[in-house]
Amino acid sequence: MSNGIKVKRALISVSDKDGLEDLANELSSLNIDILSTGGTKRFIEELGVNVTDVSSVTGFPEILDGRVKTLHPNVHGGLLGIKTNKDHMETLKKNSIDTIDLLIVNLYPFEETIKKESSFEECIENIDIGGPAMIRAAAKNHNSVAVVVDKHDYNLIIEELKKDSRICEKTLKNLAHKAYSRTAAYDATISNWMNKQINDGDQTYKSFGGEKIQTLRYGENPHQEAAVYTDGTNRYGVISAEQIQGKELSYNNINDTDAAFELVSEFDPDESHAVAIIKHANPCGVAINNNQVEAYKEALKCDSTSAFGGIISFNSELQAETAELITEIFTEVIIAPTISEEAKNVISKKKNLRLLSTGGLTNTNEISHKMKTITGGFLVQTNDNTVINQEEIKIVSKRKPNDQEVNDLYFAFTVAKHVKSNAIVYAKNGATVGIGAGQMNRLDSSRIAARKSEDAASAFGEKIPLAVGSVVASDAFFPFADGLIAAAEAGVTAIIQPGGSIRDEEVIQAADEAGLAMIFTGLRHFNH
């Protein structure tokens, strides 16, 4: 195994100048020649550090508004020449090309540009060409060139160079791996942005990339490794949230908190406060109300047992009175768009309780893509951002639902979107009163939801199950009438479901015989 490479000559071209002052001074103190371009060169010159303009190496000026400056054999030959290859070295010498031992590049800020919702033309201009080309060249030739794409690695290479002006083989390989990962993530962001601009759902190649923002203690279980990555999009949620207090978020915390915040983001805060309590990525209670405290109480009432150790999300600013009630039970995470100072003071009494402020709600109407890995590949689909079209629904029963039933039906069907299939949601007066999730058949989900409504009533000293007088939503059609009959026996008055079963007439007949109102949406909300 070799002992790495000796560094005599470095090329620096960075968009982000953070850390560059110390880096340039350290390299200069080690008598390493520095080449540079444009703004980077001017920055280094102003430090009083000697720097050579790349154009004097290429013998060609920057052209096309800086689009072409490093795309030249004198640069890429210096990056790609294998130092242990005699023919390579003779070729470089014959063509008066000097080797480059260290390449330090960070790319045009494309991710930041699209986050600012810049114009199409500005985004295009912030697609780096020369940078990725140099990075890939140096990474391919990593036995001869060290490539640095992350400012957090500046100290690493300086410490190694201070020892004997060398960078060891292990570091060279690690830097090359990071370099390829960086260009892959960069290109993935560009590809996905471009696809969004042209609205082309038929992609032959699909790219996913991201930047690690946190290494987690473990994954779903202690023996699994895990980390959090950001995909560069500018969406409000758990990834972008400020953690005000509490322990570090775990893999399961993040997964559940994301599910919780996506759910409450369905509801307009100008119309009502929405509260969702999540456990194992499923809601155990959801409510909307003009009063946030009442919304929280109703959400908790649905299944206070499962709420223990759960995630609580809000679509509006967390208020102190609500915060006081939350501290009465064990809660893992609270997430809200904003949090009042009074609420922060209340929550601060629970030091381990994680408190997150996102700054806004997730745009659930925006098209995004979700990926699920499978053996040998992955599945990709757009997010379920479709809402009920009131003009397309069909009242298929003899009895029409009244206004309150219609409001509760729409509410329950929206919640069903976020419940693992098979999903059954009982709701009354803007609050869930029973939820059946993730069962292998719809009848079991219906029965479980009804049983939970009985348990909830009992927990609050009520003799009548909460499902009595409620409505019920099913994420997919009832394949048989039995699931509907179970809901009728639980005391529901109206049903909303997609319809589309070959036994729809049988199901409609059962609804009519029970005196239920029933709506077909023609829209399914499977959530596997």
Active site residue 223: no
Query: Which positions ≥6 away from 192 have C-beta within 8 Å?
Result: 207, 231, 369
The CA-atom distances, in angstroms, between 435 and each of 223, 446, 467, 480 are 32, 8, 10, 20
Distance CA 163, CA 161 (A): 5
Helices and strands counted in the chain (H then E): 19, 23
Q: What is the DSSP string of 202-246?
A: --SS-----EEEEE-S-SSSTTS--EEEE-S----STTT-EEEES
Query: Which positions ≥6 away from 458 have C-beta within 8 Å?
Result: none
Strands 310-314, 331-336: pairing is parallel
Distance CA 277, CA 387 (A): 22
Residue pair 360/236 in contact (Cβ under 8 Å)? The answer is: yes
Record the tokens describing residue 242, joined without a space: 């400020």
| Residue linked to tokens 């992955």 | 378
Distance CA 450, CA 483 (A): 11
Active site residue 280: yes
Give the active site residue among 8, 88, 178, 280.
280
Give the active site residue among 8, 140, 151, 350.
140
Residue pair 464/456 in contact (Cβ under 8 Å)? The answer is: no
Query: Which positions ≥6 away from 112 have C-beta within 8 Å?
Result: none
Residue 463 buriedness (CB in 10 A; 0-12 / 13-18 / 19+): exposed
Q: Measured in Å, how far apart are the chain's first and last C-alpha atoms?
A: 49
DSSP single-letter state for residue 433: E
Residues designated as active site = 140, 280
